[in-house]
């Protein structure tokens, strides 16, 4: 994940420096999201059928390919097609790896500890999110893009060796592998019909659709809107990424009352996470002072952390461990369909509006959607009791 965090900061900056056009950065984002639509489910199938440790080692090795493609693009800047191709390969690797990682959690801990384990995983993500922008921004300012790619290659090699040597992963192959195509079909139908899990599909798809431009062009937004250098962007984003770590600590050590709410009404907490995401994006798009941008980005990432932690725990609690990989892959597919469609819409909007204007409207829409969802999920509103009865069972 540290490799990916460095990639997120350094690549958009390098693309804009070479082309002076944010559209190419958004194209890279779109092509990175496309594999999640189908390969998330493929990764889930692999996780449910083969030894997870071996899969993680092989799939992490594929991360060398986007690094090689970006190295070629650096020396041949006119070969713009290499940028979205690298994004596609990067997305393919991560789309396959993430469901496999998630499918390991129920096999490594008890059902009562799933929420805390997911919070720890998110904490690891945001530690890398803190270090990635700092490393990427500082290296790009001090040396150059080639040096960043070399560092990423070293990190990939380190991850592969660590995964291969990890003793805790050696016994995660399932004793009874699930090979039925019809079971996979039934699982695909199960997720949108489940009274709680289908809400997660709706939340993920809509939020990723609305915030695709923000996610893909955040570095360029800070460069154009605040006139920050890449070192400053790395510093401010790194500081902002430290806030979700505190949110994770609160979730890991949450009092019994919050754990009970999470167990019985996780959708409420997920909707709160959506509201906070929209508020953070709206904040970032309005302010023009760097430390206030940090506050807004911290709010956004805190909302992502709340939503992702409870959504992942809900999936794992409601799903048989034998096919959690496929459920994870399918849920990610729905989310990134939204990202791809939102990115395409962003390409069209960039012809008429500036990046801050697009993200400002997107933040307002997401916050309004989250508030409306909260109204639908709170049982005190009698005109929505049918929905609430359906969710509570």
What is the pLDDT at residue 390? 40
What backbone phi and psi angles, to 5 degrees, belong to 168?
-70, -20
Evaluate if residue 325 carries a pLDDT over 60: yes
What is the pLDDT at residue 238? 86
Report the half-sphere exposure of 79 (CA within 13 A, side-chain side): 11
What is the pLDDT at residue 248? 72
What is the pLDDT at residue 144? 87
CA 191 vs CA 47, 49, 105, 282: distances in Å: 18, 20, 19, 31
Region 202-211: mean pLDDT is 91
Number of Cβ within a 10 Å radius of residue 361: 17
Evaluate if residue 260 carries a pLDDT over 70: no
Region 43-64: mean pLDDT is 81
153 CB-near residues (< 8 Å, 6+ apart): 64, 67
Report the half-sphere exposure of 72 (CA within 13 A, side-chain side): 14
The encoded tokens of residue 237 equal 């984003």
Q: pLDDT, tens digit, for every residue of 369-378?
A: 999 998 888 7
More confident residue, 387 or 274: 274
Evaluate if residue 386 carries a pLDDT over 50: no
DSSP at 78: T
Write the DSSP string, 80-136: TTHHHHHHHHHHHHHHHHHHHHHHHHHHHS-GGGHHHHHHHHHHHHHHHHHHHHHHH
CA distance 362 to 346: 11
CA distance 377 to 370: 10
CA distance 187 to 235: 43
The encoded tokens of residue 191 equal 């997720």
Full 3-state SS string of 134-174: HHHHHHHHHCCHHHHHHHHHHHHHHHHHHHHHCHHHCCCCC
Entry pTM: 0.79
The encoded tokens of residue 128 equal 């890398």
Domains identified in the chain and CATH numbers: 2-167+183-392 (1.20.1250.20)
Q: Where are the beta strands (DSSP E) in the chain?
A: none
The answer to whether residues 355 and 225 touch, using CB atoms and an 8 Å cutoff, is yes
Evaluate if residue 365 carries a pLDDT over 90: yes
What is the pLDDT at residue 25? 86
């Amino acid at each position: 994940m540290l490799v990916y965090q460095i990639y997120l900061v350094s690549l958009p900056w390098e693309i804009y420096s070479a082309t002076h056009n944010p559209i190419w950065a958004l194209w890279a984002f779109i092509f990175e999201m496309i594999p999640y639509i189908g390969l998330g489910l493929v990764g889930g199938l692999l996780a449910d059928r083969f030894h997870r440790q071996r899969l993680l080692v092989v799939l992490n090795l594929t991360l060398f390919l986007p690094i090689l493609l970006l190295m070629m693009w650096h020396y041949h800047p006119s070969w713009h097609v290499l940028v979205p191709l690298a994004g596609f390969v990067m997305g393919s690797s991560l789309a396959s790896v993430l469901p496999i990682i998630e499918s390991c959690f129920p096999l490594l801990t008890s059902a009562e500890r799933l929420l805390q384990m997911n919070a720890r995983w998110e904490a690891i993500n945001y530690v890398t999110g803190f270090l990635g922008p700092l490393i990427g921004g500082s290296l790009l300012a001090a040396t150059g893009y080639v040096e960043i790619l070399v560092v990423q290659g070293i990190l990939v090699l380190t991850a592969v060796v660590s995964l291969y040597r990890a003793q805790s992963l050696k016994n995660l192959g399932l004793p009874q592998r699930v090979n039925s195509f019809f079971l996979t079909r039934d699982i695909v139908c199960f997720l949108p019909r489940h009274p709680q899990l289908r809400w997660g599909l709706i939340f993920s798809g809509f939020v990723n659709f609305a915030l695709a431009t923000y996610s893909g062009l955040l570095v360029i937004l800070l460069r154009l809107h605040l006139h920050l250098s890449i070192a400053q962007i790395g510093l401010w984003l790194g500081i902002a990424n430290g806030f979700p770590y505190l949110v994770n600590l609160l979730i890991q050590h949450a009092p019994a009352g919050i754990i009970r709410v999470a167990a019985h009404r996780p959708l409420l907490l997920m909707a709160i996470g959506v509201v906070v995401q929209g508020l953070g994006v709206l904040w970032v798009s309005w302010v023009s002072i760097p430390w206030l941008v940090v506050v807004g980005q911290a709010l956004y990432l805190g909302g992502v952390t709340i939503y992702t932690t409870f959504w992942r725990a809900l999936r794992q609690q409601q799903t048989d461990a034998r096919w959690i990989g496929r459920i994870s892959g399918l849920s990610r597919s729905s989310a990134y369909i939204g990202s791809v469609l939102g990115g395409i819409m962003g390409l069209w909007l960039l012809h008429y509006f500036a990046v801050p204007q697009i993200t400002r409207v997107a933040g307002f829409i997401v916050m309004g959607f989250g508030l409306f969802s909260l109204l639908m999920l709170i049982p005190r509103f009698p005109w929505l009791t049918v929905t609430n009865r359906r969710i509570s069972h």
